[in-house]
Amino acid sequence: MKSPGLNSITFRAITEANRLFLVQLYKSSRGDDLRGLGWDEDRIREFLEMQYAAYGNFYRNDFPNASDEVVLWDAKPIGRLIIDRRSDEIRLVDIAVLPDYQNRGFGSQIVRRLQTEAAAQHKPLRLQVIRFNRAVGLFERLGFVRASETGTHFQMEWLSEAPAVREGNTR
């Protein structure tokens, strides 16, 4: 399938008018694991609405200066991007794309734009991702490495200029 044109992807700041879309997007990326536990659809819906509220509070509290944007393709909302541009790094806080637009190159194009921005500013591009998320493979294909990990998450980073020899690495 042909990749989307880079120029056709745009971003717009989140507004209250985007609330229903954002809830739909959030729910579209979660819930399958709950169905696997045998939860009924009403219980899943209620749980995901509570989780969505907690998710919003977390990002507002932990990343108060982050830009929160709707991803648009040909002016149609297809995803969300939260970026925290810090003095020492660019932090990809969250990226989500509706299922109908996944595996079509949108996520790669968005991350490549961020890599270009990070390279121009000589900053690392960093993110955290749940260990079992399919996006781990995408990030690795785009040159991210696992910098550290917890029991549930990988801390990943991309550096535009790899050091000639990392300390302790003699390969």
Report the share of the chain in percent with pLDDT over 70.
88
Q: For the residues 37-61, what does the mean pLDDT come to? A: 87
pLDDT band at 164 (very low <50, low <70, confident <90, very high): very low
- Taking alpha carbons only, the member of 94, 92, 146 closest to residue 115 is 92
Q: For the residues 71-100, what does the mean pLDDT come to? A: 95
**pTM beyond 0.75, yes or no:** yes
Q: For the residues 21-43, what does the mean pLDDT come to? A: 81
Is pLDDT at 72 greater than 70 in this prediction?
Answer: yes
Q: For the residues 27-54, what does the mean pLDDT come to? A: 82
Please report the pLDDT score of residue 32 as a whole number: 67
50-54, 87-91, 98-102, 167-171: least confidently modelled range: 167-171
Q: How buried is residue 136: exposed, middle or buried, by Cβ count under 10 Å (0-12/13-18/19+)?
A: middle
Neighbours of 32 (CB within 10 A): 9
Report the share of the chain in percent with pLDDT over 90.
60
The dihedral sign for the CA sequence 124, 127, 128, 131: negative
Please report the pLDDT score of residue 133 as a whole number: 82
What are the structural domains, with CATH classification, of the chain? 6-158 (3.40.630.30)
